[in-house]
Amino acid sequence: MTTNPPVQPVALNHLRDLQAHGERDRLVEELERLRPESLTTTEEFDFIIEAALELGLPHVAEGFLAEKRNRRDATPADLLQAAALAASRGRPEEALEQVEQALVLDPRHLGAVRRKIHLLSRLGRPDEAEQFLSARAELFPAGLDQALRETIRGSGEAVSSGDAPAAAAEPWTEAHIHRLIELFQGRGDVHARQWVSPGGGGGYNPVHQPLDPVLVEGHFAGRHTLGVYQLDEEARVRWIAFDVDIRKEVLPDALRRRSQWQTLMR
DSSP, residue by residue, 74-143: --HHHHHHHHHHHHHTT-HHHHHHHHHHHHHH-TT-HHHHHHHHHHHHHTT-HHHHHHHHHTTGGGS-HH
Residue 248 lies in a domain: no
Residue 234 lies in a domain: yes
Number of domains present in the structure of the chain: 2
Residue 247 lies in a domain: no
Does 231 lie in the same domain as 146? no
Does 180 lie in the same domain as 82? no
Structural domain boundaries, residue 99: 12-153
Q: What is the pLDDT along the chain (266 residues), one digit of tens a residue?
A: 444 444 445 688 889 888 888 888 999 999 999 999 988 899 999 999 988 877 878 889 999 999 999 999 999 989 988 888 888 777 889 999 999 999 999 988 877 887 888 888 888 888 998 898 888 777 766 555 566 676 676 533 333 333 433 333 335 666 677 778 878 888 887 888 887 766 666 778 888 777 877 778 778 777 778 899 888 877 788 888 877 776 766 666 666 666 666 665 55
Does 189 lie in the same domain as 139? no
Does the predicted model carry a pTM greater than 0.85? no
Does 39 lie in the same domain as 147? yes
Does 24 lie in the same domain as 144? yes
Does 176 lie in the same domain as 148? no
Residue 1 lies in a domain: no
Residue 158 lies in a domain: no
